[in-house]
Amino acid sequence: MLLSSLVAQASPLSEQQVNQLQQLVSQLNPIQQAWVSGYLAASAQLAGQTATPAAGTVSAAASSSLTILFGSQTGNARHLAQALAEQAKTKGINANVVDMADYKTSQLKNEQYLVIVTSTYGEGEPPENAVALHNFLFSKKAPKLPQLKYAVLGLGDTSYEFFCKTAQDFDQRLAELGATAVHQRADLDVDYQTLADNWSSELINKLEPELTASSAPSAQVIAWPRVDSPGSDATAGSASQYNKQNPFAAELYTKQKITGRDSTKDVRHIEISLAGSGLTYQPGDALGVYFNNDPALVRELLLLTAIARDTPVTLGTETLTVEQALTEQLELTQSYPAFAEKYAAAINHADLLALSSDKAQLRSYLSDRQIIDIVRDYPGLLSAQQLVDALRKQQPRLYSIASSQAEVEEEVHLTVGVVRYDAFGQPHLGGASGFLAERLAEGENVRVFVEQNPNFRLPQSDDTPVIMVGPGTGIAPFRAFLQERDARGASGKNWLFFGNPHFTQDFLYQLELQNYLKRGLLTKLDVAFSRDQASKVYVQDKLRKHGEQVWQWLQDGAHLYICGDANRMAKDVQQALLDIVQQYGAKTAEQAQAYLDELRAAKRYQKDVY
């Protein structure tokens, strides 16, 4: 009744269309309705702008508009790019936000104003969606850019040796190509928000006179999110008021240890309810999780620093007790150089000051130490406010979503490896994984949000074969992929490579996977139990063993995905792929690399690694 009366009153639709719409809506559950609503909104938005961009074909409006390119893996740079565009728009500047993966490099010579917002990964490497542009700019093909005015904003983490290296690369290379920096690059650490806001305001103030004088403000071309498939990014999370700044207090339904009693690993399957949040997600997305620190850790820290737990402190504009600040708002389990430096200065400790002044030594010292370890090693007295000022704000942890809403509706599932280790004679637990595994009881709430990952997506066509490489907790998004393909009745072949230490202890989701194999949803399942024999066997060994077939699947159009450990596994798997392409594709090493680059550009080679 509600829909028909509303539609009848103000509708531009024909009677037949109204009937069709009513029929469709009556068949949809609330999640599907939210999805359709977001889909239509995004379609209308794009229809009012330029044609829907296809991969690699986005031509941002050139001339006197501002093009903002983002290189981002976990959403931070993307959000800042979008906020910058919003800010520009309020000043009447046309701003186009473009995912670097979708940017047409031939457009560069037409750009007049370009902003690059990018993070850094690996050992100073570009995020996946920035690799192609980065390679292009550093190649001989890069054009001279004397017409270009640009600015670069870098995101990184000072715990890494190559802090904000990709931003530095882009800055240096654009200058070499003859472009002019209009605003000094900022390299921002994990707690970047305020500094990024300031940087953006300063930049817009500088650009405003030039860009508003030469262009009439009009609709901006937002080339992201793109409407590219059912369940596309245009809709994920869009029906909800909840996000990173305003997380949803979600109920923990269940948590279950899915590694055996004798396993060296503690992996939990976690189910969380999103009921009432309006939050939606796509397979490939991640869930952001905020957590409370361990009360025992807080108590020990206060004891060592002789600070009374109810001492009031100020965090931004908020006044709260030091105990509350340490428990709910500040980072206690990850350590980072800025804490050591500020703490050393506050307690005036000569040895820690000396250590802090040697960056490489400090990084090595901090690598296996939490904040409490530093305070245990270098006890000293400081005020509650000094302690709080030395600590950075807690950053939510991301977990690849291990479920599809097509199967679990308003739930979200995770596969969490608990960070648990003994060091310096004491047990240690990771902040978020420890909270989820040890301190959060079923029925209690956890603050969460959905972080979209538009660069880790199932193929548009259900017929396309997929190869998934996900050892350890890297299995998580592939469980989501399989659930989704199952629910859709997708006919494309699915091949999973999984690895973990022992078959009997660590075969995550064994029954589900074997059932999928029996039913034919999983076409092939290859497992590498690394420690079940004298010498290690890893997923890349299995890939190599089946190299000819992997090559054949790629020739048949397969999409290839890697998820899990970034430091070693993802690199070794990539090398195995290069070897396979070289051997079975009869290519040189350079040609094999070019082949993989083409797969990446075509969004057929995607990584979700951490």
Ligand X SMILES: Cc1cc2nc3c(=O)[nH]c(=O)nc-3n(C[C@H](O)[C@H](O)[C@H](O)COP(=O)(O)O)c2cc1C
Binding site for ligand X (CB under 6 A): 72-77, 119-124, 127, 155-157, 160, 162-165, 566, 610
The least CB distance from residue 171 to ligand X, in Å, is 14
Instruction: Say whether residue 190 binds ligand FAD (CB under 6 A).
Output: no
For 536-561, the DSSP string reads: ---HHHHHHHTHHHHHHHHHTT-EEE
- Spatial contact of 397 and 288, defined as CB atoms under 8 Å apart: yes
The least CB distance from residue 505 to ligand NAP, in Å, is 11
Instruction: Say whether residue 266 binds ligand NAP (CB under 6 A).
Output: no
CB atoms within 10 A of CB 121: 24
Q: Which of 267, 237, 274 is nearest to 253 (CA)?
A: 274
Instruction: Say whether residue 235 binds ligand NAP (CB under 6 A).
Output: no
Among positions 36, 419, 525, 578, the unique one binding ligand FAD when judged by CB under 6 A: 419
Q: Which residues of 274-296 are buried (b: 16+ CB within 10 A; e: fewer)?
A: beebbbbbbbbbbbbbbbbbbee
Angle, nearest 10°, between helix axes 2-10 and 15-26? 150
* Backbone Cα Rg of the chain: 25
State how far the Cα of 335 lies from the Cα of 424, in Å rounded to an integer: 15
Among positions 131, 391, 476, 543, the unique one binding ligand FAD when judged by CB under 6 A: 476
The length of the chain is 610
Q: Which of residues 591-610 bind ligand FAD (CB under 6 A)?
A: 608, 610
The least CB distance from residue 452 to ligand NAP, in Å, is 19
The least CB distance from residue 196 to ligand FAD, in Å, is 19
Q: Which of 138, 139, 73 is nearest to 101 (CA)?
A: 73
State how far the Cα of 513 lies from the Cα of 258, in Å rounded to an integer: 14
Q: Which of 33, 66, 100 is nearest to 217 (CA)?
A: 66
State how far the Cα of 258 lies from the Cα of 265, in Å rounded to an integer: 10
Among positions 237, 247, 417, 492, the unique one binding ligand FAD when judged by CB under 6 A: 417
- Cα angle 284, 478, 504 (rounded to 5 degrees) comes to 145
- Residue in the shown chain whose Cβ atom is closest to ligand X: 156
What x/- string results for residues 194 through 233 when contact with ligand FAD is judged by CB under 6 A? ----------------------------------------
What x/- string results for residues 425 through 444 when contact with ligand FAD is judged by CB under 6 A? -----xxxxx----------
Nearer to ligand FAD, 476 or 573 (CB): 476
State how far the Cα of 111 lies from the Cα of 403, in Å rounded to an integer: 41
Return the one option of ligand NAP, ligand X, ligand FAD, none that residue 400 interacts with (CB less than 5 to 8 A, by type).
Answer: ligand FAD
Instruction: Say whether residue 127 binds ligand NAP (CB under 6 A).
Output: no
- Classified as helix, coil or strand, 163 is coil
The least CB distance from residue 477 to ligand NAP, in Å, is 13
- Residue in the shown chain whose Cβ atom is closest to ligand FAD: 430
Instruction: Say whether residue 403 binds ligand FAD (CB under 6 A).
Output: no
- Contact residues for ligand NAP (CB under 6 A)? 265, 417, 419, 471-473, 499-501, 530-531, 536, 538-540, 564-565, 567-569, 572, 610
- Contact residues for ligand FAD (CB under 6 A)? 74, 286, 333-334, 367-368, 397-400, 415-417, 419, 421, 423, 430-434, 473, 476, 608, 610
